[in-house]
Amino acid sequence: DIQMTQSPSSLSASVGDRVTITCRASQGIRNDLGWYQQKPGKVPNRLIYAASTLHSGVPSRFSGSGFGTEFTLTISSLQPEDFATYYCVQHHSYPPFFGGGTRVEIK
Amino acid sequence: EVQLVESGGGLVQPGGSLRLSCAASGFTFSSYDMHWVRQGTGKGLEWVSGVGVDGDPYYPDSAQGRFIISRENAKNSVYLQMNSLRAGDTAVYYCVRSYGMDVWGQGTTVTVSS
């Protein structure tokens, strides 16, 4: 199975900050990776697919990069509505595996 | 509008069974593989099972034969039969479209407790 290690598990940031979250795959997954945002009590929403393609309607301050084993989600200027938990998931091979999540909190 | 609506969750005793259903609308259901993902309270996301367009099922090792996924294209529906339920299966269960997980239902809550 391909495992995903996500870091950090939590971070504190201020509105306007640049935030970076990383996911590392235990083996190469090409660009078969998605990023999701989940707010408390809500359904996860896809932000990015194919590692770097923005899902329809997602603000351009979100971006993704990476290929193979190292992937990054960047929020260029954190907004109040971005405080949430973020997950990566690999869908290169079964079973799909989610990272452990990164909780982004207000500093 | 693309929509997935889950049903069938509830309270069940350890060792019991439940059958979850997911009704899809707004897209050509038969053209997509479908999945179930769960989330325990305060925990992360965990893939539970998937079914291909041809009906082939996929499971993680942890399912250990307790869960059975199926689909019925004529009814635009996917099902998850869960047997020998344990406390650790307590979670919100989401129905999800495609391996790329682009569309999620609102979830149905399963509580396993005596």
CA atoms of A79 and B101, how far apart (whole Å): 25
pLDDT-above-70 percentage for chain B: 99
> To the nearest whole angstrom, how far is the Cα of B74 from the nearest Cα of chain A?
27
Q: Which residues of B touch A44 (CB under 8 A)?
A: 45, 94, 104
* Residue of B61, B100, B107 lying closest to A34 (CB–CB): B100
pLDDT tens profile B74-113: 999 999 999 999 999 999 999 999 989 999 999 999 999 9
pLDDT at B62: 78
User: In chain A, which residue's Cα lies nearest the Cα of B60?
Assistant: A95
Backbone φ and ψ of B63, nearest 5°? -65, -30
Neighbours of A95 (CB within 10 A): 19
User: What number is the average pLDDT over the span A94-103?
Assistant: 96
Contact B101 A98 (CB under 8 A): no
> To the nearest whole angstrom, how far is the Cα of B70 from the nearest Cα of chain A?
17
Contact A87 B104 (CB under 8 A): no
pLDDT at A48: 98
pLDDT at B11: 98
- pLDDT at residue B65 is higher than 90: no
Alpha-carbon torsion B34, B22, B16, B45, what sign?
positive
**For residues B23-33, b (16+ Cβ closer than 10 Å) or e, as one string?**
bbeebebeebb
Contact A98 B45 (CB under 8 A): yes
CA atoms of B83 and B80, how far apart (whole Å): 10
**If you count them, how many residues does chain A have?**
107
Contact A98 B106 (CB under 8 A): no
Contact B101 A96 (CB under 8 A): yes
DSSP B73: G
CA atoms of B87 and B113, how far apart (whole Å): 6
